[in-house]
Amino acid sequence: MKILHTFDGSLLKYVNSKEALKEKGVKQEIIDSKSLKLDSNENFFVNAEDLNVLLRDVVQDLDLRLYNPEGVGELNGALGRYVGVSPECITVSSGSEQLIDLVVNLFLEKGDNIISIVPSFFAYEKRVSLKQALFFGVLLNRDLSINKEKILKKATPRTRLIFICSPNNPTANQFEWSEIEALADQTSAMVVVDEAYAEFADYSVASLAVKKSNVIVLRTFSKGFGLAGMRFGYAVANPDLALPLSNIIPYTISTFAAKFVVRLLGSIGIIEKSIDMAKAERERLIESLRSTRGVKKVLDSDANFVTFEPYKNADRVYQKLLERGIIVKNLGDLPIIGHCLRATVGLPHMNDQFLNALRLVLHDR
């Protein structure tokens, strides 16, 4: 499989043609499947064989010819226990991006607007444009905290949604509940907290969010649980919000996915061990990058990626890493943080390979 991608402005663009490569000024090196892929924030610390053992057990117990409406109740119960909320607060889906679509479609009409912190996950702006609604970005403060005053000043009666990614992609920092609660209390908008990376952080606001009538928390199994290929996500909200969401998308996951997630939550030690290892390796990667000559800035991280800025032209560093078979994310020149690259926290040998290649690139004259 041949892959090559870049990041252009606020929207991710996958580039696979010679014409597009030429337009973007990207050299036409082809990266094959043997390359070290550190651009998608997958969790390499979850043991694949552990997942395969669970998978085989689940498959043996299934009769896929049958509907299993009771399975959603069992799943919601397991997720509720994991998050610390009642099952009625859970809405499941085939990934958190589907939930973003659901929320946008449910709350937005033409002419409405949303507010998002900037820089942040590109998908919010993309989804809003499809609804012919308006997107307003509010810059983070220089210390990467939320500028609540500017968000509240920007909000109007037509502001239906406020997206807060926490931990934020790409700045990797987590926001306090008090900041999110202030937005919920002082606006009529629905505050959507995207906690895709919460397992790698110190806490989740999900159990607090259910006490509010205008806060929805989005979670996924793609990152912390290492199930990027399964596409499973869920929302946590007050039951008065969760029930309508569930009614809109009553059958979005398969019987297999429901059973597998329940079984995995019953073996949560597998995931907790992988998270502990990822956090330890994350700190080592941050320290190594900060001690690398040629690296200008390294952001702290509450996620499973590290964002850094080289002194050299970031496009050139990205390209030279590609030539050495190392794929990171080229974030482009973003407000507040500058032109940064983002690297997934890989296994120790993967990070060593990345760091060695980066040092060669940075010291290459």
Q: Are residues 75 and 138 in the same domain?
A: yes
In this prediction the pTM is 0.89
Sheet holding 159-165, edge to edge: 90-93, 233-237, 215-220, 190-194, 159-165, 113-118, 134-139
User: What pLDDT is recorded for position 250?
Assistant: 61
Q: How high is the mean pLDDT of the chain?
A: 89
Nearest CA among 253, 245, 235 for reference residue 69: 253
Is residue 226, in this structure, part of any structural domain at all? yes
Q: pLDDT tens, 74-127?
A: 999 999 999 999 999 999 998 888 899 889 988 999 899 999 999 999 989 888
Structure-block tokens of residue 105: 């479609």
For position 58, what pLDDT does the model report?
Answer: 93
Residue 52 lies in a domain: no
Q: Which of 237, 266, 295 is the last residue of a domain?
A: 266
Residues 125 and 179 in one domain: yes
> What domain range includes position 125?
67-266
Residue 57 lies in a domain: no
**315 is a domain residue:** yes
Same domain flag for 218 and 232: yes
CATH number at residue 77: 3.40.640.10
Residue predicted with more confidence, 269 or 67: 269
**Considering 210, 232, 266, which residue would you say is the last residue of a domain?**
266
Closest-CA residue to 336 (of 124, 119, 11, 117):
119
Within-domain flag for 58: no
Domain-ending residue, one of 228, 246, 266:
266
What is the pLDDT at residue 33? 56
Asked whether residue 72 falls in the same domain as residue 205, the answer is yes
Q: What is the pLDDT of residues 147-188, one digit of tens each?
A: 999 999 999 999 999 999 999 999 999 999 999 999 999 999
Does 29 score more than 50 pLDDT?
no
Across 158-314, the runs of DSSP E, i.e. the strands, are: 159-165, 190-194, 215-220, 233-237, 295-298, 305-310
In a domain, 54, yes or no: no
Q: Is the pLDDT of residue 14 over 70?
A: no
Report if residue 199 sits inside a domain.
yes
Quickly state the pLDDT bin for 350 (edges 50, 70, 90).
Answer: very high
